[in-house]
Amino acid sequence: MPTNLFVASNAKIERAKSQIEDLDSKVSSFLISCGHTHFRNVDSSGIEVWRFRLNEPIPIEFSLIVGEILHTLRSSLDLMMSEIARINDKPTKNVYFPFGKSREIFEQELKKKTESLPDNVHNLLCSLKPYKGGNKLLWALHDWNRLDKHVSIVAITQISRVYVQTLVAIKGQIFTVGPRCGRHLYFDGKNLVQPHHSKQPRIVSSGKIVHYQGEAAIDFGHIPESDMSPNDAYLSVIYNQVLNKQASQMQIPFSPLLDEIELTAENCMEFMTTTPDSEIYLDIQPTISICIDDIDIFPFLSVKTILNDMRSMCKSIIQQFQSLPEKQPTIEDRGEPSAHRW
C-alpha cells in the first residue's frame, strides 16, 4: 500500500504514547505522596494475615485516563480500516475493525464490517484473531474500551524486599513470609521453607548481592519476567534461629492448605501470616504497582506495562496492513465467498 497511508492512525499511536507517559507520571507522584501502611486481621482459618494498603484511595482520574488511552488505541484501528476502504474506492461508512466474543461472532462481524474490502485484508484480520479466546491482548483492548465497561484500577504489591537478619518473632509464630499467591516461605513445623523453585524468593542481586548488616536482602512477591536473570539465586530455607525459641517449642500445627491462596489483588498485598496477636519485627520495603483489575488474565502487569504493550501491538498491526499490496480483488468484485486463512 502507499507509504503515506494511515497518517491519522499513526498520529493516534503517538498520542497514546504521550498519554501513557502522562499517566505514569501521575501514578508515580501519587504513590510517593500517599504512602502506605500495613494492617492485620484474623481470617476464617484462624491465622492472622498481614497486608499492605495505600493511605489514600486511588484517584478516579486514573481510570478515566486509562479509558481515554484505550479509546485512542482502539480508534487507530478503525481509522486504518476506513483508510483501506477509501484507497480501494469503497464506501467508508460502517467500515470498522471487527471483533467478536467468539470466533463465530468474529466471522459474522468480519462480513458485516469489512465485506467490501480485499481478500488479503480479510486474511490478515483473521490471522490476528481479534476475538475472545484468540489474541488475548487485542481482545482486552476492545473489551475494556466498550462504552458500558468501567476500567477498574487496583493496587498490588509487586515485590516485598526483606532484610533477613531483621526478621524476628518477638511473640507468636510466623507461618508465611511473602504473599502465598507468589514467591514466599512457609513454616513446616521447624523452619521457614520453600521446596518449589517457582515459589522461592529471590536473593537480591544486580551486579552484586545487597546486604544489610552482613545478611542478604530477599525479594518476595511477584518478580516481573523482565527483571529475572538465569544467574539469580533463590532462597529455599530460613533456619529456626531467626524464630522465637519459645514459640518454636509450642509445636503449633500448620496445615499445607494454608499455603494455597487465590490470586487476587487483595491477596497480592499480603506479606506475612502469623498466629493471632503475634509481635513481629522485620525491615520490609514494598514496591507497590497500580494495575488494571483483570489480574486473572494479566497478572502483576502494571498499567504502564500493559498499555505500552497494547500500543506496540496496534503499531505493529498498522505496519502489517501498510505492507499489503495496494489493491486486490474483493468478495463483491468476484461475487463469491472468500476463503479465510486461520
Let me know whether 203 and 280 are in one domain: yes
Identify whether residues 111 and 230 lie together within a single domain.
no
Quick one: 239 and 263 in the same domain?
yes
Q: Is the pLDDT score of 205 beyond 60?
A: no
Would you state the torsion angle of the CA atoms of residues 292, 293, 294, 296, taken in this order, to the nearest 10 degrees? 120
Domain that holds residue 69: 7-24+61-151+298-334
**What would the mean pLDDT of 82-86 be, rounded to a whole number?**
93
**Pick from 16-20, 32-36, 331-335: least confident:** 331-335
Residues 243 and 305 occupy one common structural domain? no
Same domain, 100 and 141: yes
Inside any domain, residue 37: no
* Residue 1 belongs to a domain: no
Residue 179 inside a domain? The answer is yes
Q: What is the pLDDT of residue 69?
A: 96
Query: Is residue 48 assigned to a domain?
Result: no
Query: pLDDT tens, 16-32?
Result: 999 999 999 999 999 99
Tell me, yes or no, whether 36 lies in a domain: no
Inside any domain, residue 263: yes
Q: Mark whether 305 and 220 lie in a shared domain.
A: no
- Confirm whether 56 is domain-assigned: no
- The pTM assigned to this predicted structure is 0.83
Q: Are 85 and 95 in contact (CB under 8 A)?
A: yes
Confidence at 312, pLDDT banded by 50, 70, 90: very high
Are 84 and 171 within one domain?
no
Are residues 211 and 258 part of one domain?
Answer: yes
Number of domains in the chain: 2
The answer to whether residue 89 sits within a structural domain is yes
234 with 112, same domain: the answer is: no
Same domain, yes or no: 70 and 118: yes
Question: 163 with 242, same domain?
Answer: yes
Residues 133 and 120 placed together within one structural domain of the fold: yes
